[in-house]
């Protein structure tokens, strides 16, 4: 076989390798969004599926396209949706900040320990991630409820006389989100801090800066890519979080993931649910693009190693 | 080591890991509790494991979830490896940015959006081409493959980025065709990444509540769906038993993986030493000759 034939074969093989996942993702990831967009413009009806077609055939060749902006108008007019979006962003933002405050010192401590300890500690960070997310959220019900472990312990040592209401509060939701997403914050931070050149700190010390000064002026700025990656990995999914507010939060707590779920499963209003999803996506498009650029820059390193 | 006070580092680790592990330990401890009240100790008992084994609904759901997760993980590893290869090895090609975006977006996409959009796709496809007829295991598997392959892609891509491309080039120079290079050189080197990708996809699929709730039909409830409807009504000790079994499986899995990896490392070290020794010998003999 000559070289040209080999190359052609290789080239064709490459096209095949790239096109299989490509087709899969276009069909099952990209096209679904187009359909969501389409259905968000249609009317609800009581049938299966519970929405009216956008295109109606009138007579022989005429196509009648009926775009209904009513679902979006409904989202804008009804305060509930605005509150849910803003509250979700607020809750996700605060949780991200808390994750950073807890995760940064941990990632720092892991990155600065000896190699053998480091691997064990890293394993301990990843391990909870391998057990069920749902069951770990469930564990907090037992800890936080009125006759739960924390209240019982506090009453036993006499700090409080009456149980504090913790379950079904915003506090419980923060605890749940921080708890579930903490590994996502620690891992990219660790990956970044571990790569850092420690001689830079020595140089800073030689030049007379105190440890905390060196941290603020050298370590922190250098770890910014890790901070950004970790924050986005926590923030974006947390905005649409459903399970944690559903299990730990107040039933009346407005989170957009819960609203979408209710519109879809309880009200069976698929067009409004679609409009909620599209609007949520618009809120998240900028952070998601940031995340992708960061991912591309690191070319897949960092997160999982 | 420099930087920071040691007591602060130790404290942050102790508190951090206490936060991560106390809930898990409490799950395990109270699965052996005699009392139905999950948080009050009523003596040691294994009766909730018996209750779990007798709960046909949970057993059926667990069986379905295991089937879905194994098929999902296998397919996700195949698709994720293809994507990872294309992104890490093919250089710039038309549509690379698009593929990279499509491949990583599911990592951060809120589950409610993924679930809703896939359901609407399945409904539309059924109307247009009659497939998939109804929703159930097939639709859950397709949905799970779609969001888990992103994780496999990232793992494979970063593994490929780490190892030396010259190994593949050497094989190619010696006349191996691309497919042969892949199966004889690339695949063995990235196999640990494939294994962790498979396990991660398996775990994510086994754990998914939201996406499965959207795309599952009546009568195809996965384990998380059954667990969720149960714990919504409050705590129940048989769920603690279920959690404990899961944690035990993970712990055993991690122990085995650690053992295997340590052994492989030992073999690699020995091979490297032997190669070094052989090299030394060759140089010696060349000096003599």
Where exactly are the structural domains of chain A? 78-298
**Chain A residues touching B79 at Cβ < 8 A:** 20-21, 24
Please compute the mean of the pLDDT values over residues A260-283 and round it to a whole number: 88
Evaluate whether residue B14 is within a structural domain: no
What is the per-residue pLDDT for B3? Answer: 47
Q: H or E element: which one contains A57? A: strand A55-58
pLDDT in tens, A72-124: 887 888 888 888 999 999 999 999 999 999 999 999 999 988 888 888 898 88
**Chain B residues touching A261 at Cβ < 8 A:** 112, 210
**Chain B residues touching A281 at Cβ < 8 A:** 113
Q: Which CATH architecture has domain A78-298?
A: Orthogonal Bundle (1.10)
Contact at 8 Å (CB) between B73 and B198?
Answer: yes
B118, B127, B158 ranked by CB distance to A301: nearest:
B158
**Chain B residues touching A49 at Cβ < 8 A:** 123, 127
- Residue A274, number of CB atoms within 10 A of its CB: 27
Chain B nearest-CA residue for A296: B100
Angstrom CA distances, A155 to A143, A152, A171, B15, B33, stand at 14, 5, 19, 22, 21
Evaluate whether residue B170 is within a structural domain: yes
- Owning domain of residue B171: 32-288
B82, B101, B214 ranked by CB distance to A21: nearest:
B82
A19 CA to chain B: closest CA distance, Å?
Answer: 9
**Chain A residues touching B116 at Cβ < 8 A:** 36, 260, 264, 273-274, 277
Contact at 8 Å (CB) between B260 and B253?
Answer: no
Q: H or E element: which one contains B78? A: helix B56-89
**Chain A residues touching B203 at Cβ < 8 A:** 130
Contact at 8 Å (CB) between A234 and A154?
Answer: no
Residue in the block written with tokens 């890519």: A225
Biggest CA–CA distance in chain A, Å, is: 87
Chain B nearest-CA residue for A292: B101
Give me the CATH number covering residue B88.
Answer: 1.10.3720.10
Mutate to test the interface with A, among B6, B18, B20 (most CBs of A within 10 A): B20
Report DSSP letters for A207-240, one per residue. TT--HHHHIIIIIHHHTHHHHHHHHHHHHHHHHT
Give the count of Cβ contacts less than 8 A between chain A and B: 294
Query: Is the per-residue pLDDT at A49 higher than 90?
Result: no
Chain B nearest-CA residue for A130: B203
Chain A nearest-CA residue for B233: A247
Residue B145 CA to residue B139 CA, distance in Å, equals 10
pLDDT in tens, A147-175: 888 888 888 888 888 888 888 899 999 99
Query: Which of A32-36, A155-159, A177-181, B171-175 is predicted most confidently?
Result: A177-181
The candidate with the shortest Cα–Cα distance to A271, out of A65, A67, A77, A27, is A67
Q: What tokens does A162 get?
A: 């009456």
Number of domains in chain B: 1
B181 CA to chain A: closest CA distance, Å?
Answer: 11
Whether B99 contacts chain A with CB within 8 A: yes
Residue A24: pLDDT band by 50, 70, 90 thresholds?
Answer: very high
Query: Is the per-residue pLDDT at A68 higher than 80?
Result: no
Residue B194 CA to residue B206 CA, distance in Å, equals 18
What is the per-residue pLDDT for A62? Answer: 56
A108, A133, A277 ranked by CB distance to B113: nearest:
A277
B177·A201 Cβ contact <8 A = no
Query: Is the per-residue pLDDT at A50 higher than 80?
Result: no
DSSP A51: B
A145·B235 Cβ contact <8 A = yes
Whether B236 contacts chain A with CB within 8 A: no
Evaluate whether residue B78 is within a structural domain: yes
B110·A288 Cβ contact <8 A = no
Chain B nearest-CA residue for A273: B116
Chain A nearest-CA residue for B28: A139
B9, B86, B209 ranked by CB distance to A17: nearest:
B86
Residue B256 CA to residue B148 CA, distance in Å, equals 23
What is the per-residue pLDDT for B186? Answer: 87
Q: pTM above 0.90?
A: no
B146·A28 Cβ contact <8 A = yes
Whether B92 contacts chain A with CB within 8 A: no
A14·B90 Cβ contact <8 A = yes
Q: Is the ipTM of this complex over 0.85?
A: no
Q: Which residues pair with B44 in a beta bridge?
A: B33
Please compute the mean of the pLDDT values over residues A34-59 and round it to a whole number: 72
Contact at 8 Å (CB) between A198 and B3?
Answer: yes
Evaluate whether residue B248 is within a structural domain: yes
Residue B163 CA to residue B167 CA, distance in Å, equals 9
Whether B151 contacts chain A with CB within 8 A: yes
Residue B116 CA to residue B205 CA, distance in Å, equals 17
**Which residues of chain B register pLDDT less than 50?**
1-3
A10·B177 Cβ contact <8 A = yes
Mutate to test the interface with B, among A4, A14, A18, A219 (most CBs of B within 10 A): A18
B110·A239 Cβ contact <8 A = yes
B232·A28 Cβ contact <8 A = no
> Judged by CB atoms within 8 Å, which residues 195-224 of B form the interface with A?
196, 199-200, 203, 206-207, 209-210, 213-214, 224
Q: What tokens does A227 get?
A: 């901070």
Angstrom CA distances, B100 to A22, B91, B194, stand at 10, 12, 19
A211·B109 Cβ contact <8 A = no
Residue B238 CA to residue B48 CA, distance in Å, equals 5
In the predicted model, what is the mean pLDDT of chain A?
83
B287 CA to chain A: closest CA distance, Å?
Answer: 40
Task: Evaluate the omega torsion of the peptide bond into residue B132 and state whether it is cis, within 30 degrees of 0.
Answer: yes
């Amino acid at each position: 076989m000559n070289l040209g034939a080999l190359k052609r074969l290789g080239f064709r093989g490459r096209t095949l390798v790239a096109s299989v996942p490509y087709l899969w993702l276009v069909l099952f990831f990209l096209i679904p969004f187009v359909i969501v967009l389409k259905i968000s413009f249609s009317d609800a009806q009581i049938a299966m599926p519970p929405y009216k077609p956008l295109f109606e055939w009138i007579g022989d060749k005429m196509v009648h396209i009926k775009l209904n902006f009513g679902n979006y108008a409904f989202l804008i007019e009804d305060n509930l949706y605005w509150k849910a979006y803003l509250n979700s962003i607020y809750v996700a933002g605060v949780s991200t900040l808390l994750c950073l405050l807890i995760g940064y010192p941990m990632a720092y401590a892991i990155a600065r320990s000896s190699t053998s300890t480091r691997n064990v500690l890293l394993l301990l960070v990843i391990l909870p991630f391998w057990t069920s997310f749902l069951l770990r959220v469930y564990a907090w019900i037992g800890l936080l409820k009125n006759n739960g472990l924390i209240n019982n312990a506090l009453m036993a040592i006499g700090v409080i006389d009456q149980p504090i209401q913790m379950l079904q509060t915003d506090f419980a939701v923060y605890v749940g989100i921080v708890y579930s997403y903490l590994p996502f914050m620690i891992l990219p931070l660790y990956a970044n801090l571990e790569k850092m050149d420690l001689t830079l700190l020595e140089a800073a010390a030689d030049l007379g800066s105190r440890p905390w000064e060196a941290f603020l002026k050298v370590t922190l700025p250098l770890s910014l890519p890790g901070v950004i990656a970790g924050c986005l990995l926590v923030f974006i999914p947390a905005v649409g979080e459903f399970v944690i507010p559903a299990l730990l939060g107040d039933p009346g707590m407005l989170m957009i993931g819960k609203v979408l779920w209710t519109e879809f499963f309880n009200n069976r209003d698929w067009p409004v649910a679609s409009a909620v999803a599209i609007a949520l996506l618009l809120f998240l498009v900028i952070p998601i693009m940031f995340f992708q650029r960061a991912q591309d820059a690191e070319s897949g390193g960092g997160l999982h190693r | 080591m420099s930087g920071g006070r040691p007591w602060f580092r130790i404290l942050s680790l102790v508190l951090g890991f206490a936060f991560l592990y106390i809930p898990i330990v409490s799950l395990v401890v109270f699965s052996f509790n005699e009392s139905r009240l999950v948080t009050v100790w009523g003596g040691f008992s294994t009766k909730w494991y018996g209750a779990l084994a007798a709960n046909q609904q949970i057993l059926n759901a667990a069986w379905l979830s295991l089937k879905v997760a194994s098929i999902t993980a296998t397919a996700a590893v195949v698709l994720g490896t293809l994507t990872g290869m294309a992104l890490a090895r093919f250089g710039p090609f038309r549509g690379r940015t698009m593929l990279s975006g499509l491949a990583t977006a599911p990592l951060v996409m809120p589950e409610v959006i993924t679930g809703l959009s896939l359901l609407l796709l399945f409904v539309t496809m059924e109307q247009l081409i009659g497939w998939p007829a109804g929703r159930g295991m097939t639709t859950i598997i397709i949905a799970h493959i779609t969001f888990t392959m992103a994780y496999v892609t990232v793992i494979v891509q970063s593994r490929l980025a780490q190892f030396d491309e010259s190994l593949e080039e050497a094989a190619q120079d010696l006349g191996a065709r691309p497919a042969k290079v892949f199966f004889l050189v690339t695949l063995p080197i990235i196999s640990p990444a494939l294994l962790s990708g498979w396990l991660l996809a398996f775990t994510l699929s086994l754990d998914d509540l939201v996406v499965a709730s959207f795309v599952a039909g009546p009568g195809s409830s996965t384990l998380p769906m059954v667990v969720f409807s149960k714990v919504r009504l409050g705590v129940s000790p048989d769920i603690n038993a279920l959690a404990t079994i899961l944690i035990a499986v993970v712990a055993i899995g991690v122990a085995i993986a650690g053992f295997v990896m340590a052994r492989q490392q030992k073999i690699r070290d020995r091979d490297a030493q032997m190669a070094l020794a052989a090299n030394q010998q060759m140089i010696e003999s060349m000096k003599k000759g």
